[in-house]
Amino acid sequence: MVLPRLPSIRELIKLYGLSAKSQLSQNFILDKNITDKIVRCASLSANVPLVVEVGPGPGLLTRSILDAGVKNMVAVEKDDRFQPTLRQLGEASESRLKVIQGNMLEISHQSILDKAQIDAATSPLHIMGNLPFNVATPLLLQWLHLLAGRQGLFGVSPHGAVMTLMFQKEVGDRLAAKASTGHRGRLAIMAQSLCDVEEVYRVPASVFVPKPKVDASVIQLVPKANPFSDHQDAYLTLENVLRYYFTKRRKTVGHITRRLAKEMPQSKQVLEELEDTLDFKARPEDLTTDQFGEIARRLHENGTIELPL
């Protein structure tokens, strides 16, 4: 299959006014070697039941995904100026690529699944994207909720969906941060409670057009087998636990836990028992993801979802 010629960088800049749009964080990758490398790092199998690409823009990463032999792909792009190029690519792909114009933060996942004509799969779906940095984190947070409850794109396969996503390097560092390291915070624990998280590719700012101020990293999130026994509520409890502990991150775990016990007398006993398993002298960033998962699990089993602010 021969995909149509991609417009040159000069043509694209003229067509889309790229420099004018830099404030909208439209930083494009126009070097196919780089997009091919991203796809290689994603370890996409040709047998993946569906790849959803978010924010394909002019479609170079899209081409690399198709070149990897993917048979079923949906690209969701908000900006209507890219529709002609993407639709042309869709036609040349012999229906392997379908294009939806829409905002990924608002679109119903069912409409994507309908377009892809898929309702169940044994192996995980794959979500990929080089998104504007201000959209990538809210989207990931939304997806983690859906993953916890195995809903939407994450409910098609019992294994959920693997995500291979580009983030600003600093956000990538925060996502992949291990306990007791500089970038450790709520984001790392939320993501790592549900997924194995790994930086698979560091991308220098120089490969983007226009060039952003900072480097980027491609982060892969592979869902864990049995997060919270598939309980979305337990994940909500975890989020609330993290908010409580990390707004007091300068205090010790013991101080925070005792304060919480005072504020929630109904969970006093559960919280006091934590002293047997947690280092009460540690700070929140020193606890492992499993340890926070254990706090959330115990509180959730005791009927707690909401926590005091």
The binding site for S-adenosyl-L-methionine comprises 27, 29, 55, 77, 130
CA-nearest of 58, 56, 54, 55 to 11 is 58
Q: How far does CA 67 lie from the centroid of its chain?
A: 23
H helices of 177-288, where? Answer: 186-194, 232-246, 253-263, 268-273
**Strand arrangement, sheet containing 161-168:** 97-101, 73-77, 51-54, 125-130, 161-168, 216-223, 195-203
Over the window 105 to 124, marking each residue x when it contacts ligand SAM by CB under 6 A and - when it does not, the resulting string is x-------------------
Burial zone of 168 (CB within 10 Å; 0-12 exposed, 13-18 middle, 19+ buried): buried
Under the binding rule (CB under 6 A), the answer on residue 304 touching ligand SAM is no
Residue in 39, 77, 89, 220 binding ligand SAM, rule: CB under 6 A: 77
Out of 50, 97, 104, 271, which residue is the one contacting ligand SAM (CB under 6 A)? 104
Stretch that binds ligand SAM, among 99-107, 116-124, 171-179, 273-281 (CB under 6 A): 99-107
Count interface residues toward ligand SAM (CB under 6 A). Answer: 22
Choose, by CB under 6 A, the member of 64, 72, 130, 193 that binds ligand SAM. Answer: 130
Torsion angle in degrees (nearest 10) through CA of 65, 76, 109, 305: 90
Q: Is 57 an interacting residue with respect to ligand SAM (CB under 6 A)?
A: yes
Residue 60 exposed, middle or buried by CB count within 10 Å (0-12, 13-18, 19+): buried
Question: Is residue 131 a contact residue for ligand SAM (CB under 6 A)?
Answer: yes
Q: Are strands 195-203 and 97-101 parallel, antiparallel or unpaired?
A: unpaired
Among 31, 79, 199, 215, binds ligand SAM (CB under 6 A): 79
- Which residue lies nearest ligand SAM, judged by its C-beta? 55
x/- string (CB under 6 A) for ligand SAM, residues 3-42? ----------------------xxxxx-------------
Q: Which of 73, 76, 203, 274 binds ligand SAM (CB under 6 A)?
A: 76
250: tokens are: 């300068």
Q: Which amino acid is at 96?
A: R
Interface residues toward ligand SAM, by CB under 6 A: 25-29, 54-57, 60-61, 76-79, 103-105, 130-132, 135
